[in-house]
Amino acid sequence: MRTLFYPRLAWDGIRKNRRLYGPYLLTCVCMAAMYYILGFLASPAALALLPRGKSSVEMILTLGRYVMLVFSLVFLYYTHSFLIRRRQREFGLYNVLGMGKRNLMRIVTWESLITFALALAGGLLAGLALSKLAELGLVNLLGGQVDYRLRLDAGALAGTAACYAAIFALIWLSAVIRTYRSSAVSLMKAESVGEKPPRGNWLLALLGAGLLAAAYWLAVSIDNPLDALVWFFVAVLMVIVATYLLMIAGSVRLCRMLQRNAGYYYRPRHFISVSSMAYRMKRNGAGLASICVIATMVLVMLSSTTCLWFGAEDSLLSRYPREINIDVRMNDPAQLNDANLNLFREAIAEFVPQRGAVLENVQDYRFINLSGMLKGDTLQCDYERAGARVRYGDLRDVCVISAADYAAKTGAPLKLSRGEAALLVDKMRYAMDGIALAMGDIEHRWTVKSVQKGTLVEPYAGVALPRVTLIVPDLAEAIEGFELTDAKGLQKAQIQWIYGFDTGLSDDDNSRLAYDMELELAARLFEDSEGSGFRSFTVEDRADGAADFFGSYGALFFIGILLSAVFLAAAVLIIYYKQISEGYEDAKRFEIMQKVGMTKPEIRASIASQLLTVFALPLAFAGLHLTFAFPMIRRLLTLFSLYNVGLFARTTLVSFAAFSALYALVYLLTSREYYRIVSGAA
Amino acid sequence: MLLEVKGLRKVYRTRFGNRQGDSRVSVEALKNVNFTVEAGEYVAIMGESGSGKTTLLNILAALDKPTSGTVLLEGRDFSKIPEREVAAFRRDNLGFVFQEFNLLDTFTLEDNIYLPLVLAGKPWPQMREKLTPIARTLGIEALLKKYPYEVSGGQKQRAAVARALITSPRIILADEPTGALDSRATDELLKLFAEVNRQGQTLLMVTHSARAASRAGRVLFIRDGEVFHQLYRGDATDALFYQKIVDTLTLLAKGGDRA
């Protein structure tokens, strides 16, 4: 019997504090389950069900798993320290009643063991139960064949158990250390000591405002997607730090300023609210900032992943303009003559009908693609000449196309005299009168006839540099005399011919056609054009690309939803604990106010307005963050070939609306708990 | 006559009681309480725990309603005051001093004292004008900017008295005001009460301390929900009055009949 004393005491402690422990355990269960599910989906058995994009799905899922793990650790640690703090009084009582530190630690240890066992068992069971659902969801999303066999993955089970055991061990260790360090008297007194009035730190408040302004400026001022990628994480960190500083120090500072204004402060409507808000913010600043950061995270994740998913079709079309796309690369611009190209054109025209297909919407143009450093009005394509330091900001993607091919491609005739060029610019501005293309000492110069926004050649996925397209009278002249291979034998310019068409065949037939045609063309042309110097040619079909696109975007979308759900659960828990702890603290105050002559409706109105402010603050801030993040994320999405701003704006708005609705619901539900505590004590 | 209490009875029904569960047990906290208080009087009410003191005070504070009987303040019947006006009535006519001070820890002492006036919508300059003489009388001028956690119990209680005085109430109801104070702070507070009373403030104090009661002009003894006895100070000194109170308490404790 004696041996069961501590476990029983620990169990009693958990049971009596179930209002605190219940949600905590639920979150543990939720996180462990999610971790197992992600592991399970990334297992070979589950991946085998996917029709396409296996490797990208696996990579994204594994990444999501790491995120999950780190988040679990931070969040559960934080939450548990809150639980322990609330129980200090109970431990103090035990201590006064004659329990030593050693005994208290035994209770804490048993408590940790019990919560761990419950959390893991619950998490794994929930994970097993829900993993089938998640699998169906993912397979369905990616258009695979679903079946109804139940699978489980031993490796993922063991991994989940091990990871969460480690997390709980860390939490246990910190709880033991905390118990060891505190003294009986301080344990007992913890709640009754009067609290110092909050004094928001000026410096921290200003620092927060400054950081936020800087981060916002970064977000709106960066044009270059690659820069955006680098600075995005910096901006995110700045925003997180700024949010915490502003919520903790800034808000209190603001309340203090309002209190100094006697005419404003000593009014029935402001008096109680302003002074309690200062305390509320001091206690809840960190919690509110966390809610705000999580909310922003969820919103960014949801809006961008849904946007990618729903924009996958667009991205696919911009990456693969036709069902079949042939890309031939030459060594020399002189080789882009009609005689050479006709070899291809004829071979294709002969081959395609054999498959019962037609040649529709034919795209046929030549261009040269290189990159250069823009200095003044000169694009230097030889980096060694451009100077020792290659500055990212000066780097430009350069396309050159002849006026004739431009007219053929767009159907808009363009008159250019010798020595004239028309420019198309993308993600950059250009205001010079002339422009020059240089390779080492050789330089070709044109006068600029017109500058327009846009790009002619479809950008490749991943090409994120600002791009300038030169439309010139003659393509070969544009790079005449250029040294096109560097010391290592690498090509400095891509001399390309693009030939694309639609076939009217099914996806599978198109894939087969592309594959066979590549072999056929290789067999015919490499024999025919011996020595004519094709560097390479590829035949790509959109159907094949679609697999990768939908695979990775589908997986991103899926994981966006899963992680959003977990983060949301965490935000809900923070809100819940905030309401409960405020309820206990406000109960006493509520009672006093009533005794000194406030009516219940008055008190209720005052509390409601404070709760509303505290409720709206993180959401409003998250909305603001999201607004400023919008231009930056939009640039990042171009790295994924997504250019549809309207779509992104829509998914962002919908995400925000959905999140707000859910948030309001949670707040209403948890507010009830708050009122129950407050009025129960009054 | 300022306050008139007639035939006050209060019965609590509880769900306590026997194991069958649904039979209710009623407890008669007040049986039949009658007394009056004249303007400018300083009355102490004594009684043991469970004698009905707290119930009586709650009814006088309009926090609770009697089962039967009436309470009249300047002829106005408490039971006739509409529910939504009760809080304002309490704020305008009654001042409270509690055992546990009941200061809000989110306010400075000054703001705590202003609270009832702010709630009544008084303008700020007027509030400050009212505070100055009160703060001087109570000797808390130097403490006004401090927070409750920074000052001693006696100082907190003086701030609470200031909060009760600032609305110029008809009557101040004090519930065990010395209960949480040490003997020096108790003495100071009782001196203040006497001073405030000398200036014309009516006071009604519930206490179980004979020492506190001995400073009042009249002491009512409550036992088993009834006014059992009352003592007038008359010309007696504090010490003599104290002795008379202690004798009465002894008698009460022995369960004897009234002297």
- Is-contact B90 B62, C-beta < 8 A? yes
CA distance A376 to A369: 20
CA distance A550 to A539: 20
pLDDT at B259: 44
Give the distance, in angstroms, between the CA of residue A283 and the centroid of all CA atoms in the same chain: 30
Q: Do A268 and B114 touch (CB under 8 A)?
A: no
A282 to chain B, closest Cα gap in Å: 12
Residue listed under structure tokens 């592991």: A39
Q: Do A268 and B148 touch (CB under 8 A)?
A: no
Q: Locate the chain A residue with the closest alpha carbon to B113.
A: A596
Q: Do B149 and A271 touch (CB under 8 A)?
A: no
Alpha helix positions (H), A222-337: 225-245, 251-260, 262-265, 268-310, 312-319
Q: Locate the chain B residue with the closest alpha carbon to A262.
A: B124
Instruction: Kindly tell me the sign of the dihedral angle through the C-alpha atoms of B101, B104, B110, B115.
Output: negative
**Mind spelling out the 3-state secondary structure of A424-492?**
EEECCCCCCCEEEEEECCEEEEEEEEEEEECCCCCCCCCCCCCEEEEEECCHHHHCCCCCCECCCCCEC
Cβ neighbours of B96 in A, within 8 Å? 595-596
pLDDT at A95: 76
What is the token pair recorded at B153? 């119990």
B238 to chain A, closest Cα gap in Å: 32
Q: Do B115 and A271 touch (CB under 8 A)?
A: yes
Residue listed under structure tokens 């990628």: A229
pLDDT at A528: 55
End-to-end CA distance of chain A: 42
CA distance B79 to A8: 53
Q: Is residue A564 part of a domain?
A: no
Q: Locate the chain A residue with the closest alpha carbon to B112.
A: A596
Strand partners, A360: A502
- pLDDT, greater one: A536 or A540: A540
pLDDT at A165: 94
With a cut of 70, say whether residue A74 has pLDDT above it: yes
B115 to chain A, closest Cα gap in Å: 8
Query: Which residues lie below 8 Å from residue A507, measured CB to CB, with a gap of 6+?
Result: A543, A546
Q: Do B124 and A193 touch (CB under 8 A)?
A: no
Crossing angle of helices A600-638 and A202-221, rounded to 10°: 40
Strand partners, A402: A472
Q: Indicate the burial class of A7 (C-beta count within 10 angstroms; 0-12, 13-18, 19 or more).
A: middle
Provide the residue type at B61 as one letter: A
Give the distance, in angstroms, between the CA of residue A175 and the centroid of all CA atoms in the same chain: 33
What is the token pair recorded at A200? 């928001």
pLDDT in tens, A390-431: 677 788 888 999 998 888 888 888 888 888 999 998 878 888
Cβ neighbours of B150 in A, within 8 Å? 194
**Coil, helix or strand for B91?**
helix
Q: Locate the chain B residue with the closest alpha carbon to A263.
A: B124
B173 to chain A, closest Cα gap in Å: 12
Q: Locate the chain A residue with the closest alpha carbon to B146.
A: A197
Longest Cα–Cα distance in chain B: 62
Provide the residue type at A78 as one letter: Y
Does one domain contain both A514 and A591? no
> Of A110, A129, A111, which is closest to residue A121 (Cα–Cα)?
A129
DSSP 8-state symbol, A196: P
Provide residues of B within 8 Å CB-CB of chain A: 63, 84, 86-88, 90-91, 96, 98, 102-108, 111, 114-116, 118-119, 121, 124, 127, 147-150, 163
pLDDT-based confidence at A221, cuts 50/70/90? confident
B48-64 as b/e: b if 16+ CB within 10 A: eeebbbbbbbbbbbbee
What is the mean predicted confidence (pLDDT) over A112-118? Answer: 92
Cβ neighbours of A275 in B, within 8 Å? 104, 106-107, 111
Q: Do B103 and A592 touch (CB under 8 A)?
A: yes
pLDDT at A99: 77
Q: Locate the chain B residue with the closest alpha carbon to A277.
A: B106
A599 to chain B, closest Cα gap in Å: 5
pLDDT in tens, A225-251: 777 777 888 888 899 889 988 888 888
With a cut of 70, say whether residue A516 has pLDDT above it: yes
> Of B198, B204, B228, which is closest to residue B218 (Cα–Cα)?
B204
Nearest-5° Cα angle at A374, A371 to A379: 60
Instruction: Kindly tell me the sign of the dihedral angle through the C-alpha atoms of A536, A539, A544, A549.
Output: positive
Q: Do B102 and A602 touch (CB under 8 A)?
A: no
Within a 10 A sphere around the Cβ of A553, how many other Cβ atoms?
28
Query: Which of A184-198, A336-350, A354-368 has the lowest average pLDDT?
Result: A184-198
A589 to chain B, closest Cα gap in Å: 6
What is the mean predicted confidence (pLDDT) over A345-354? Answer: 88
> Of A579, A570, A566, which is closest to residue A667 (Cα–Cα)?
A579
What is the mean predicted confidence (pLDDT) over A335-348? Answer: 84
Residue listed under structure tokens 């250029």: A482
Q: Do B96 and A595 touch (CB under 8 A)?
A: yes
Does one domain contain both A178 and A269? no
Q: Is residue A563 part of a domain?
A: no
Q: Is residue A584 part of a domain?
A: yes
Residue listed under structure tokens 């699978």: A151
Q: Which of B90, B111, B148 sits opposite A597 (nearest CB)?
A: B90
pLDDT at A210: 94
Q: Do B102 and A263 touch (CB under 8 A)?
A: no
Q: Do A194 and B149 touch (CB under 8 A)?
A: yes
What is the token pair recorded at A487? 């010391």
Domain boundary among A193, A220, A249: A193
pLDDT at A505: 86
**Coil, helix or strand for A192?**
coil
Nearest-5° Cα angle at A117, A115 to A121: 120
Strand partners, B96: B173
Cβ neighbours of B82 in A, within 8 Å? none
What is the mean predicted confidence (pLDDT) over A592-610? Answer: 78
Instruction: Kindly tell me the sign of the dihedral angle through the C-alpha atoms of A334, A335, A339, A342.
Output: negative
pLDDT in tens, B68-89: 999 998 888 888 888 778 878 8
Distances from the Cα of A24 to the Cαs of A214, A574, A575, in angstroms? 37, 10, 12
pLDDT at A52: 67
Backbone angles phi, psi at A422, to 5 degrees: -105, 140
pLDDT-based confidence at A343, cuts 50/70/90? confident
Strand partners, A537: A328
With a cut of 50, say whether residue A192 has pLDDT above it: no
pLDDT in tens, B112-146: 999 888 888 888 888 889 999 999 888 899 999 98
Does one domain contain both A310 and A450? no
Q: Which of A262, A263, A589 sits opposite B104 (nearest CB)?
A: A589
Q: Do B106 and A197 touch (CB under 8 A)?
A: yes
Does one domain contain both A327 and A438? yes
CA distance B236 to B238: 7
pLDDT at A191: 47
What is the token pair recorded at A106? 């035994």
Q: Do A596 and B102 touch (CB under 8 A)?
A: yes
Q: Locate the chain A residue with the closest alpha carbon to B148.
A: A194
pLDDT at A650: 92
Does one domain contain both A601 and A614? yes
Distances from the Cα of B177 to the Cαs of A333, A629, B91, B173, in angstroms? 102, 59, 19, 10
pLDDT at A124: 93
Q: Is residue A567 part of a domain?
A: no
pLDDT at A187: 57
Does one domain contain both A394 and A523? yes
A198 to chain B, closest Cα gap in Å: 9
Residue listed under structure tokens 């008359």: B234
B7-23 as b/e: b if 16+ CB within 10 A: ebebeeeeeeeeeeeee
pLDDT at A682: 40
Interface test with chain A among B106, B128, B130, by most A beta carbons within 10 Å: B106
**Coil, helix or strand for A490?**
coil
Cβ neighbours of B83 in A, within 8 Å? none
> Of A294, A667, A323, A682, which is closest to residue A509 (Cα–Cα)?
A323
CA distance B37 to B202: 9
Does one domain contain both A175 and A211? no
Provide residues of A within 8 Å CB-CB of chain B: 193-197, 262-263, 266-268, 271, 275-276, 278-279, 589, 591-593, 595-599, 601-602
Q: Is residue A570 part of a domain?
A: no
Within a 10 A sphere around the Cβ of A266, how many other Cβ atoms?
22
**Coil, helix or strand for B177?**
coil
Domain boundary among A193, A211, A234: A193
- Is-contact A94 A103, C-beta < 8 A? yes
Interface test with chain A among B102, B114, B166, B168, by most A beta carbons within 10 Å: B102
- pLDDT, greater one: A109 or A454: A109
Positions of chain B with pLDDT under 50:
259
Q: Indicate the burial class of A412 (C-beta count within 10 angstroms; 0-12, 13-18, 19 or more).
A: exposed
Does one domain contain both A399 and A369? yes
CA distance A242 to A256: 20
Distances from the Cα of A6 to the Cαs of A12, A13, A93, A108, B237, in angstroms? 10, 10, 16, 9, 62
> Of A152, A2, A16, A31, which is closest to residue A83 (Cα–Cα)?
A16
Q: Is residue A303 part of a domain?
A: yes
pLDDT-based confidence at A132, cuts 50/70/90? confident
pLDDT-based confidence at A195, cuts 50/70/90? low
Does one domain contain both A361 and A265? no
pLDDT at A387: 58
- Is-contact A231 A218, C-beta < 8 A? yes
What is the mean predicted confidence (pLDDT) over A212-234? Answer: 84
CA distance B109 to B142: 10
pLDDT at A472: 92
What is the token pair recorded at A198? 């909050």
Q: Do A596 and B163 touch (CB under 8 A)?
A: yes
Domain boundary among A193, A216, A246: A193
Backbone angle region of A454, left / alpha / beta, with phi > 0 → left and psi within -120 to 50 → alpha: left
What is the token pair recorded at A437? 């293309």
Interface test with chain B among A189, A195, A259, A266, by most B beta carbons within 10 Å: A266
A573 to chain B, closest Cα gap in Å: 27
Cβ neighbours of A593 in B, within 8 Å? 104
CA distance A205 to A162: 42
With a cut of 60, say whether residue A386 has pLDDT above it: no
| Domains in chain A, number | 3
**Coil, helix or strand for A194?**
coil
Q: What is the pTM of this model?
A: 0.72
Q: Is residue A635 part of a domain?
A: yes
Cβ neighbours of B62 in A, within 8 Å? none
Q: Locate the chain A residue with the closest alpha carbon to B58.
A: A595
What is the mean predicted confidence (pLDDT) over A501-508? Answer: 86
What is the mean predicted confidence (pLDDT) over A643-650? Answer: 86
> Of A113, A112, A114, A133, which is closest to residue A36 (Cα–Cα)?
A133
> Of A393, A394, A370, which is closest to residue A483 (Cα–Cα)?
A370
Does one domain contain both A207 and A177? no
What is the token pair recorded at A425? 């610019």
Does one domain contain both A241 and A315? yes
Residue listed under structure tokens 């509390």: A607
**Coil, helix or strand for A497?**
strand
A675 to chain B, closest Cα gap in Å: 19
Q: Which domain holds residue A444?
A: 323-536
Q: How many CA atoms lie within 13 A of B72 on its CB side?
A: 12
What is the mean predicted confidence (pLDDT) over A200-227? Answer: 86
Number of H helices, E strands in chain B: 8, 10
Complex ipTM value: 0.75
Tally A–B CB contacts below 8 A.
Answer: 70
Q: Is residue A255 part of a domain?
A: yes
Does one domain contain both A361 and A300? no
What is the token pair recorded at B229? 């006895």
Query: What integer best gives the mean pLDDT of chain A?
Result: 83
Q: Do A597 and B119 touch (CB under 8 A)?
A: yes
**Coil, helix or strand for A155?**
helix
